[in-house]
């Protein structure tokens, strides 16, 4: 397997450091930390990524395309260079709750090109949302992002190995981090069905045991196919989940 990445939410620096300290001490073979950019928290993704680099050799902040004004230089480029952050993940981003937060009609491909022009030393990843439409349309989005300069991709969480394997065939030869995330309640399962159009396999159960078992299966698949694993332990006990996946 190429790399294992774990996503951590930067709720506040103290809690982030606690989680990073646990992951570091776990000796789980984690290579990189992903930090999403969530506007409801004060810590921006690149600030959280700088903290993560105190514990791990690499971190990847998420950059929201809709926050980027194409007519101005990248606002975070000075910080990224100062902290030697050499990888980013460009996503579309969700509209902010606070309407005073400025947004722009900027697409991911625009921001990928902007990073390639202004920060060519940075490796730019893009997102794959395997639930937003047809596979044909998503493959075209992947192609456009690669033409813009994306070097690899992070997927939304998978819950079905058969679906993952179909996507693997479609994306053969591309650097992909295969996403998995625990679902621990019926309400979370319903949310993924309504919000993200997920169709769960017949054997799915919204339990920690099922989620850990599935993560192990994806990890084995990524290892066999020389891919990478992307763990998103959303709304779960981080220690319990990580210990289960790597036991």
Cβ neighbors of 208 (< 8 A, separation 6 or more) are 182, 184, 236, 240, 241, 244
- Let me know: does 31 contact 56? Beta carbons within 8 Å: yes
Q: Supply the pLDDT for residue 1.
A: 78
CA gap 3, 227 in Å, rounded:
8
Fold that domain 4-245 belongs to in CATH: TIM Barrel (3.20.20)
Using 50 as the pLDDT threshold, list the residues of the chain that sit under it: none
Interval 151-172: pLDDT, tens: 999 999 999 999 999 999 999 9
CA gap 25, 19 in Å, rounded:
10
Q: Supply the pLDDT for residue 83.
A: 97
Q: Supply the pLDDT for residue 152.
A: 97
Nearest to 197 by CA among 156, 233, 230: 156
CA gap 157, 179 in Å, rounded:
4
The H or E element that residue 35 is part of is strand 32-35
Rg (CA), the chain: 17
From residue 104, give the alpha-carbon distance in Å to each of 62, 65, 129, 228, 235: 17, 8, 21, 32, 30
Chain-centroid distance of CA 77 in Å reads 20
Interval 183-202: pLDDT, tens: 999 999 999 999 999 999 99
Residue for token pair 């997102």: 127
* Measured CA angle at 158 (ends 154, 163), to 5 deg: 110
Cβ neighbors of 224 (< 8 A, separation 6 or more) are none
CA gap 240, 128 in Å, rounded:
28
- Let me know: does 89 contact 126? Beta carbons within 8 Å: yes
Nearest to 65 by CA among 22, 107, 19, 13: 107
Stated pTM of the model: 0.96
Cβ neighbors of 3 (< 8 A, separation 6 or more) are 31, 32, 177, 228, 229
Q: What is the largest CA-CA distance in the chain?
A: 50
Q: Supply the pLDDT for residue 64.
A: 97
Q: Supply the pLDDT for residue 141.
A: 97
């Amino acid at each position: 397997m190429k790399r294992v990445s774990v996503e951590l939410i930067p709720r506040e620096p103290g809690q982030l450091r606690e989680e990073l300290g646990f992951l570091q001490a776990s000796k789980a073979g984690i290579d990189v930390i992903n930090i999403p950019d969530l506007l409801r928290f004060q810590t921006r993704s690149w600030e959280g990524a700088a903290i993560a680099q105190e514990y791990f050799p690499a971190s990847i902040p998420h950059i929201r395309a809709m926050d980027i004004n194409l007519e101005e230089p990248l606002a975070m480029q000075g910080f990224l260079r100062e902290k030697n952050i050499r990888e980013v993940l460009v996503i579309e981003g969700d509209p902010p709750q606070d309407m005073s937060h400025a947004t722009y009609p900027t697409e991911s491909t625009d921001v990928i090109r902007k990073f390639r022009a202004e920060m060519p030393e940075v490796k730019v990843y893009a997102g794959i949302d395997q639930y937003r439409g047809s596979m044909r349309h998503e493959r075209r989005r992947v192609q456009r992002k690669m033409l813009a300069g994306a070097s690899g991709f992070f997927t939304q969480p998978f819950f079905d190995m058969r679906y993952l394997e179909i996507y693997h065939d479609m994306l053969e030869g591309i650097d992909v981090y295969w996403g998995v995330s625990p679902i621990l309640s019926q309400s979370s399962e319903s949310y993924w069905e309504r919000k993200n159009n997920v169709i769960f396999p017949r054997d799915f159960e919204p339990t920690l045991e099922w989620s850990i078992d599935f993560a192990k299966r994806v990890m084995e698949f990524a290892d066999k196919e020389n891919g990478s694993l992307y763990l998103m332990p959303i709304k779960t006990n981080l220690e319990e989940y990580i210990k289960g996946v790597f036991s």
